[in-house]
Amino acid sequence: MESKEMRAAYADTLIELATTNRDIVVLEADLMRATGTGSFQKLFPDRLVNVGVAEANMVGVASGLSATGKIPFASTFACFASRRVFDQFFLSANYARLNVKLVGTDPGVTAAYNGGTHMPFEDLGLMRTIPGLTIVEPSDPASCAAFVRLAAAMYGCVYLRLPRKAAAFLYPAGEKFEFGRAKRLKEGKDLVFAALGSLMVGECLKAAQVLAGEGVEAGVVDVLCLKPLDEVTILTAAKATGRIISAENHQVMGGLGSAIAELLAEHRFGGGFKRIGIRDEFGEVGTQDYLVKRFGLGAPDLADAARKLMKES
């Protein structure tokens, strides 16, 4: 399966946009080499603003830029984009109704060797409480490019959660995406996985394959947009099979698992439901593969949850 670095999809799309839209501006806080926007800087040196290791100022500057009509994309590690500058993003950007696109890279266990200090399992929970904020975690390079384009085209703040590493293409280049619309990647009559982000969508697809060998047909919904959540697609899939498992590279509190639990409870879903994600723990150092196993995020964990759900309900 063809793949591409997610950060390359991000940077390439910014270059594509900036070529025709002079208002596109990119901000970095001394992580340009990690985010991979050096390619943007080469082409548009005056439109890449590196503020140094000063994330709070970066979000403020981005807010000010957007007040003058610029469309700023500001990126840093997701731990800093959420925990460190929550008040700046909340007030200067969102409350002020400005137009800031904040990109949090290396979410969850993808922070790997940077370890627990840099491993955000809570960024989605924080961001979800900001009124009106659009939150998206693309699942492949095509959806990443599409949502960067959509974010630029839409007035309003966006939080884009972005692993840097290569991800397999799940969609063709021309696939249409919308904020608030999930994609049904795979149909299955027994249960459905609702997964957020390239890592978890990939693990769910693997788990579905394993389960198919055992005679269990599992569907996969690629959630893509945590806020607004595609309630219709998720609820319809849950009701059709009577069983749903949420899967996120994040705490089960506050993120996708919580969002789906709220949705199911409010709509009197009486079927089976499990949440795969981090269970009230801090992150730690290790390879991504190690951490996926350590925190129970992998295909075997998802398959186990599915088997239990099949027995229970």
Partner 1 sequence: MKAERIAELERIAKEIRKLTIDEIGYLGVGHIGGAMSVVEVLTLLYHETMRVDPGYPRDPDRDWLVLSKGHAGPTLYATLALKGFFPKDWLHSLNKGGTKLPSHCDRNLTPGIDMTTGSLGQGFSAAMGIALGLSMEGRKSTVYAIIGDGESDEGQVWEAAMFAAHRKLSNLIAFTDFNKQQLDGTTKDILDLESLDDKWRAFGWFTQRVDGHDMAALDKAIQAAKAQAGRPSMIVMDTIKGKGCNFAEALLSNHNMSFGMDEARAAIAALGGAALGGDALGGDALGGDALGGDALGD
To partner 1, the closest distance from the beta carbon of 64 in angstroms equals 2
Site membership for partner 1, residue 61 (CB under 8 A): yes
Site membership for partner 1, residue 51 (CB under 8 A): yes
To partner 1, the closest distance from the beta carbon of 53 in angstroms equals 9
Please count the CA atoms within 13 angstroms of the CA of 50 that sit on its side-chain side. Answer: 15
Q: Which of 56, 123, 125 is nearest to 92 (CA)?
A: 56
Catalytic-role residue among 2, 16, 28, 55: 55
- Residue from 39, 41, 57, 236 that binds partner 1 (CB under 8 A)? 57
To partner 1, the closest distance from the beta carbon of 77 in angstroms equals 17
Phi, psi (deg, nearest 5) at residue 21:
-125, 105
Site membership for partner 1, residue 92 (CB under 8 A): yes
2 flagged as catalytic:
no
Site membership for partner 1, residue 82 (CB under 8 A): no
Amino acid found at 27 = L
CB-nearer residue toward partner 1: 96 or 261: 96
Instruction: For residue 157, give both structure tokens.
Output: 């703040």
Q: Which of 111, 183, 109 is nearest to 146 (CA)?
A: 183
String of DSSP letters for 171-204: S-TT----TT--EEEE--SSEEEEE-HHHHHHHH
Could you tell me how many residues of this chain bind partner 1 (CB under 8 A)? Answer: 29
d(CA 134, CA 117): 26
Site membership for partner 1, residue 20 (CB under 8 A): no
**Which chain residues interact with partner 1 by CB under 8 A?**
25, 46-47, 49, 51-52, 54, 56-57, 59-70, 72, 87-88, 91-92, 95-97
The residues assigned a catalytic role are 55
